[in-house]
A and B are shown apart, each in its own frame.
Chain A
Amino acid sequence: MKYLLLKHYRGGPAPVVDYPPMDQWTPQEVDAHIQYMNDFAAKLEGTGEYVDSQALTPEGAFVRYDGAGRPPVTDGPFAETKDLIAGWMIIDVESWDRAVELAGELSAAPGAGGRPIHEWLEVRPFLTGCHTVTE
């Protein structure tokens, strides 16, 4: 089963640890955080559970169709959107429990002072393709 671990710049439940933005950590703390993320992905590659991860820039826009012969309408970027996706990791694991276990581990990445940031990650199962044998 594939799961999306979604990382948000903003949104989700209230943070449990009020950590400052990354540029206010020490360079060593920044390095330790990045190293933790890299090691985590490498470990999942090793266990055969890693699929993909991507980071997004903070700014984009909403776009919609505006009728035939007309250019699409764009809206944004919004400086204060409530929910802003920062990136994701896709994992392919045995069970929901395993997905939750791994998300918990990723959320323990160290922040300022080397303490876990306790960041909320959204875990979403993929809808699967249609199986040949369903009974």
Chain B
Amino acid sequence: MTGLRELVPAVIGVLVRRGADFASAEDAVQDALIRALEAENQPRDLKAWLISVAWHRFLDTVRADSARRDRELAVDAQPPGGPVPATDDTLRLYFRCAHPSLPPAAAVALTLRAVGGLTTKQIASAYLVPEATMAQRISRAKRRIAGAGLGEPGDLPTVLRVLYLVFNEGYGGEVDLAAEAIRLTRQLAGLTDEPEAAGLLALMLLHHARRASRTGPGGRLIPLSTQDRNRWDTGLIAEGVTILRTALARDRLGEYQAQAAIAALHADARTVAETDWVQIVEWYDELLRLTGSPIVRLNRAVAVCEADGPQAAFAALDGLDPTLPRYPAVLAYLYERTGNRTQAADLYAAAAHAATSVQERDHLTREAARLRQLDA
């Protein structure tokens, strides 16, 4: 039923053009979508069917509302004349769902429902919250953006950040969020010629290509340096690199393109030893110039260590706040590279203590254990 979900944004667009407000249109389409998912036989023309069911659902709601409140609603059941490109509607939907006034979790949920066509139940299961909680999060989000007109210019960086958040969540429940994020970003990149949208798509594809090699037995984390590179998906890598090249040729660099460039350089190395660390450091310099982010400086230090050795990397850490997430883990790695295993193991243990995920905690504990075993 993947074809069904792809129709959702267009169907919402049709209802909005016919005069429905966004929040009601979105609800009506969600109802129609659930009915379609539960139906035994698929209608031949799914899109026409969805539009018809959703529109009637919407009219029912409006009639019930107006009867209850005894007020006139300016709803004209006739579709306005003149075709409007559906792509514009879909693009506006992205901007609306990832409106800058929404908290990230709300924008994520609304985007997955209205643009992604997932049901509230699926989104709830992906984020491990009760369905009623997710339903409330979505309706609060819709109330919040009710005043924002469909015509107002969108904020692409916010849309990209929302899609990036969805991608990073990985998988939970029955929905593969990483694959869903790729699908939505691919669609977005087709709707706008902003190179950062292509950059984000390339970044996702290049990371997704390594997914099979990133975890070992029992879900344990396998770092880039020890991944089985034969398991990388060369098709996804080739696609990511091609998209990135085209984006970079536009000469409007942004943070996603720079991150994708780093991922592409890793993907390009058949062994760790073949990694072009000097170029990676250069891309980190670009990324740092674009973002000024301390996290980028921290990651850059690891690349500097590979390119110029641990002493240069210690210098690269200079002035960074030691309470940054992953700072002790990076420091541990640098000490390990200097051969100071005891110090490194203690730092890995401290990093495990401060870890924010079970996988990361277990990985860092294992790193500490590995070094202590070498020393024993």
Contacts and interface: CB of A to CB of B under 8 A. Distances in A.
A30 B373 CA distance: 12
B220 A34 contact: yes
B345 A23 contact: yes
A55 B372 contact: no
Interface string B197-217: 000000000000000000001
A27 B217 CA distance: 14
Classify chain B: how many residues form its interface, as a range: 20 to 34
A57 B366 contact: no
B352 to A, nearest CB: 6
B349 interface: yes
Contacts of A21: 349
14 contacts: A22-B365, A23-B345, A23-B349, A23-B368, A23-B369, A26-B369, A26-B373, A27-B370, A30-B369, A34-B362, A35-B217, A55-B358, A57-B354, A57-B355
Nearest to A37: B218
A27 B369 contact: yes
A30 B353 contact: no
B348 interface: yes
B352 A38 contact: no
B338 interface: no
Interface string A3-42: 0000000000000000001111111011100110010000
Contact of A34 (B218, B345, B354, B373): B218
Interface residues of A, number: 17
B219 interface: yes
Nearest to A53: B358
10 interchain residue pairs of minimum CB distance: A23-B368, A23-B349, A27-B369, A27-B370, A38-B218, A26-B373, A27-B366, A30-B369, A30-B366, A22-B365
A41 to B, nearest CB: 11
A24 B217 contact: no
Contacts of B369: 22-27, 29-30
With most chain B CB atoms within 10 A of its CB, the pick from A23, A27, A29, A57 is A23
A23 B361 CA distance: 11
A57 B356 contact: yes
Interface string A40-62: 00000000000000010111000
Interface in A105-124: none
